[in-house]
Amino acid sequence: MNYRHIYHAGNFADVLKHAVLARLIRYMQKKDGAFRVLDTHAGIGLYDLSSEETQKTGEWLEGIGKLMEAELGPQVSELLEPYLWAIRELNPEGGIRFYPGSPKLARMLFRPQDRLSAMELHPEDFIRLHRLFEGDHHARITELDGWLALGAHLPPKEKRGIVLVDPPFEEEDEYQRLAEGLEKAYRRFPGGTYCLWYPLKKGAPIKEFHESLQALDIPKMLCAELVVRSDRGTTGLTGSGLVIVNPPFTLKDELHQLLPALKDHLAQDRFASHRAFWLRGENKAIKDDS
């Protein structure tokens, strides 16, 4: 395993993923009962954007760097508030030096009764993640292949939960593996809310991936995609997508507000676009203003 998220922390893909994760957490907290966030590919949890690794790529400058300086309308500001609050809390002197990965973001947004299970396979990253949460009884950190967690760690004892699956996509078959992993996990925990991240880039089998998800016996799957630049002349990441299984009933309308704003502020060229639609369930697509 060679992927290290520190090179990409805070980029446009993280912004979309973490903004939606924060919304899912806030929705779960509308009920008093405890829930668990299961993060299958957790990384190191907290990123120093002044580090040599992040400075080498500078991807955060085109992501959270732009968003924190953007003038957001009141509705979008309200939706992004949990996510941006966490970043401000980590940077009390202003600016953006520290950026929360998904396990740290979730933990910062928790109530006393909420819990975290975070898996990381990379040995060095696991050590850093474990140190970050050492002594925190709300968090269980495990050195484990995140794909195995979709069987071994479901269902959670709380019987409510968010399962975030954000694989590194180092292998060509990981789109199919993501669909197969969801199928296995859903059989064990059909009441969970799942958030699956996937990359958009030239030649990616997105149509086939969506079709494999549509073939599953899962009633409701909502898809959101954000593209920030053209894929002409590059084989790199040009956009990212999320598939949300059992989405909150409010999420459709929230994406209708969030996606256009993210596209406007994070666009890298005139080919930026967004779309959101039901893969399974309600057949009415969210308007695409791209």
Could you state, in chain order, the average pLDDT of each consecutive group of 10 residues for the chain (290 residues)?
Answer: 76 98 98 98 95 89 96 96 98 95 98 98 95 97 94 95 93 91 97 97 95 96 97 92 97 96 97 96 56
In the prediction, which pLDDT does 170 show? 81
In the prediction, which pLDDT does 201 show? 95
CA distance 106 to 36: 10
Find all residues with CB under 8 Å of 186, minimum gap 6, and list them.
192, 194, 216, 218, 245
The answer to whether 274 is annotated as binding is: no
CA distance 27 to 108: 15
In the prediction, which pLDDT does 172 show? 77
In the prediction, which pLDDT does 1 show? 52
User: One of 32, 136, 166, 288 is an active-site residue; which one?
Assistant: 166
User: Backbone dihedral region of 98: left (phi > 0), alpha (psi from -120 to 50 degrees) or beta?
Assistant: beta
In the prediction, which pLDDT does 286 show? 46
The answer to whether 143 is annotated as binding is: no
CA distances from 272 to 48, 223, 275 (A): 28, 17, 11
CA distance 224 to 13: 12
Let me know if 166 is a catalytic residue.
yes
The answer to whether 48 is annotated as binding is: no
Number of H helices, E strands in the chain: 10, 10
